[in-house]
Every structure is written in structure tokens, then in C-alpha cells.
Amino acid sequence: MAKPEKFSAIYQRACERKGGPDAVEMLLPDTLSAQQIKEYSDAELLSVMSKRVFQSGFVWRVVEHKWPAYEQAFFDFEPFKVLMLSPEQIQQRATDATLIRHQKKTQAIVDNAYMIQQISQQHGSFAEFIAQWPCDDITGLWQVLKKQGARLGGNTGPYFLRAVGKDTFLLSQDVQAYLKAHKLVDYGFTSKSGLQQTQDVFNHWQQQTGLTLAEISRIISLSVGDNF
């Protein structure tokens, strides 16, 4: 594993490619404070999570267009109501033409409602659980979502966290390409060792710059790849 370059050099490349610091600043993602994240209801989080599951590998605007019908079909995503659906009712929704016909992703709504309910019982609310999770171990939260939830592996879990304002980096193609090219990760990005190495590199840059993980991630992606 090589030594990370100074983040100021990465930032400079991003500025050169995008037209200066002001242009880069406009492209940086926002994050929420822990207190702001705690204000989410379990239903709101299940809705966002479910939407990200359906958007994975699918046309995002189609999912967005159909989402009001999902809110109605799944009782505004109140977890305890979703968990009252019978297998027959779940099947009916998985084949409903007004929704998206996908059995496994439809079932994931129910499975993730169960995960949220279980975690809420332990921590007061799912939002509390997410808000209190330390960002210097954000890949650990990715793993919880992947193991305890349904269809939240890969970038789906991280995209969900980003959508609700939790500070996280994303392993986009550009970010992965950078880390590989600079020999900062010796293992696969899906392995525990690879994720830990990636977390360590991002923690290093965060301590160096004071930027959020989300900002660091976006700046890296702006500094490389076909994104002029």
C-alpha cells in the first residue's frame, strides 16, 4: 500500500479541470448534522432506502415518477404497516402494472422494514442509529446495511446514506480508479480488508483537510476520469 498524496494536489487538479475553486465548490455534496438526521422518521428512511433499491440498475426518473404510487401501496412506508402485508399482498404489488414489476426488490421493502423495526427497538429509532454511527468507520455502517438489510450491498447502501445526508464517501468508478492507480488499496473493494484500507485513506485525508468524506469523494471524482 502506497502513501497517499497530499489532498491539496488532488484539489488543485479538480480546480484545473472544472474551472476554479468556485466551480468545484458548487459541485460539492451537502451533509446533515447528527441532530438533523435524527429528525427523520422510520417511514421516511424506509421510503428513501426503498427508492434507492429500485433505482439500482434501473432508470432513476422512471422510479421517481412511480414513487407516489409506491407511497400509497406501502402505507407511506410505515414499517409496522408494511410488515402486516401478507405474502399474497406482496405478490400482488410485485406484479402491479402501476408499480415496477420486480419480485425481489418488492420483497426487499418488507425485509428492510423488518431491519428498521429491529434496529429501532434497540436504539430508539433508525435515524438515531444512523446519526450516531461514527463517520470514521462509515464502511462499518455499509456492512450493517448489507448484512441486516436486503439488496443494500455495493453502492446502494452508501447512496442511501448520501441521500439522507449522512456523511459518506462513494466508491464510484472514478474513485476506485484513482485508488487503484495510486496503489492505495491492495484488496478488492468488496472485501473487508479493501474497505478498511479505503476507510483509512479517507480518514487520513479528512484529518488533513477538515473536509467531509462526501466532499473528499466528490473532489477525487472531479480530478480524474471523463468528467470535464
Closest CA to 182 of 165, 152, 153, 205: 205
The distance between the two most distant Cα atoms of the chain, rounded to a whole number of Å, is 57
- pLDDT value, residue 60: 94
CATH of 35-163, one of 2.60.40.3500, 3.40.190.10, 1.10.340.30, 1.20.1340.10: 1.10.340.30
Q: Specify the amino acid at residue 160.
A: F
- pLDDT value, residue 228: 45
Q: Where are the domains of the chain?
A: 7-31+169-223, 35-163
The model carries a pTM of: 0.96
Is residue 82 within 8 A of residue 42, CB to CB? The reply is no
Rounded average pLDDT over 161-169: 98
Position 227 confidence tier, pLDDT thresholds 50, 70, 90: low
Is residue 1 within 8 A of residue 184, CB to CB? The reply is yes
DSSP for 7-26?
A: HHHHHHHHHHHHTSHHHHHH
Rounded average pLDDT over 18-45: 98
How many whole angstroms separate alpha carbon 35 and alpha carbon 16? 36
